[in-house]
Structure 1
Amino acid sequence: MLIGIMSDTHDNLPAISKAIEFFNSENVDLVIHAGDYVAPFVKKEFSKLKAPLRGVFGNNDGEKEGLKNTVGVEDEILELEVDGLRIVVLHGTNEKIVEAFAKSQLYDVVIRGHTHKYEIRERGRSIVLNPGEVCGYVSGVKSVALLDTRKREVKIVNLDTGEPLGFMSI
């Protein structure tokens, strides 16, 4: 399965549109959002996704009921098993909790957002993945990630240039 991963969209509709166009062009099977959509009006852009969207709340998601009802945000933590990979998704506001998930070794992939910095790193047998920020407000780089669960590969892509920013085999 090819999974598109995004975080920290922060109501930036043109950037969200660019991410969705990218995911649709890559024919992803699922899109995961690691939080900070911000407001329910982002549904207009997310409704253009060809793949299902699953996601968690971030610390800037104030209108939680609206986000649950419009884009289907599920909770603060999401667990998935795909092609034998155990995946946990959280926004990552508390670094101690992110590290606890990684240290637990219960998950192959720990997906997080919040820092607005893209990252792929190993923690024991777990991979900690932050796709960076779609909005580009903090780092100036609009980025997303692709996780291929069959090939066991993850890469981070710059949305403006299409260039890879990071790659790792799992």
Structure 2
Amino acid sequence: MLVGIMSDTHDNLPAIRKAVEFLNEKNVELVIHAGDFIAPFVARELGKLKAPLKGVFGNNDGERKGLYEALGVCDEILEIEADGMKMAVIHGTDERIVKALARSRLYDVVIVGHTHRYEIREEGRTILVNPGEVCGYLTGIKSVALLDTRRREVKILDIESGELLGAMSL
């Protein structure tokens, strides 16, 4: 299964539109959002995804009831299993919780956002993936990650240039 991973869209509709187009072109089968949607009106663009969307709340998601109604987001921590690969999704505001999830040995992959900086690293036996920011506000780089559960690899890509920013085999 090819999984698209995004985070920190922060109401940037043109960037969200670009990310949706990018993920649709890659034919992802599931999209995971690691929080900081911000407001329910982002559903106008996220609703154009050809794959189901699952996500968690971030620290800036104030309109939680509206995000639930528009996108079905209702959790701060989410567990997902795809092709036998176990994933935890959390925004990542508290690094201690992120490390505890990674070190628990319950998950193959822990997906986070919050820092706006893309990263793939090993944390014990778990791979930690931060896709960076779709909005591009802090780093100037609009990025998403692609997780291929069959090939057991993850890549981070710039959605504007298509440039590979990082990759790791699991």
Cα distance per residue 1:36-73 (max 9 Å; x no partner): 00000001001110000000000000000000010111
SS at match of 2:151: coil
- The CA distance in 1 between the partners of 2:97 and 2:23, in whole Å, is 29
> Which amino acid in the other structure matches residue 96 of structure 2?
K
1:135 aligns with: 135
Amino acid at match of 2:10: H
2:94 aligned with 1:94: yes
Map of 2:157 onto structure 1? 157
8 A Cα contact 2:64 2:74, kept in partner: no
| Alignment of 1:37 onto 2:26 | no
For 1:58, the aligned partner's letter is G
The one-letter code of the counterpart of 1:37 is F
SS at match of 1:160: coil
Query: How many Å apart are 1:134 and its aligned residue?
Result: 0.2
CA contact (8 A) 1:87 1:110 kept: yes
* Match in the other structure for 2:112: 112
TM-score (norm 2): 0.99
Aligned to 1:50: 50
Question: Cα deviation per residue 1:72-119 (whole Å; 9 max; x = unaligned)?
Answer: 113000001111111000000001000111111110000000000000
Distance 1:63 1:42 in 2: 12
Query: What residue identity is the alignment partner of 1:146?
Result: L
Aligned to 2:79: 79
CA distance in 2, matches of 1:139, 1:111: 19
Paired position in structure 2 for 1:145:
145
- 1:123 is displaced (CA, Å) by 1.2
Contact 1:54 1:74 in 2 (8 A): no
Would you say 1:168 and 2:168 are equivalent positions? yes
Q: Secondary structure at the match of 2:17?
A: helix
Q: Secondary structure at the match of 1:146?
A: strand
TM-score, structure 1 as length reference: 0.99
Q: Report the counterpart of residue 6 of structure 2 in structure 1.
A: 6
Tell me if 1:123 matches 2:123. yes
Letter in 1 for 2:117: K
**Corresponding pairs, count:** 170
Q: What is the percent sequence identity of the aligned residues?
A: 69
Query: Is the 1:119–1:129 contact (alpha carbons within 8 Å) kept by the matching residues of 2?
Result: yes
How far apart, in 2, do the equivalents of 1:126 and 1:143 lie?
22
How far did 1:168 drift? 0.4
Post-superposition, which runs of at least 4 consecutive aligned residues in structure 1 deviate over 2 A? none
Which residue type is aligned with residue 106 of structure 2? L
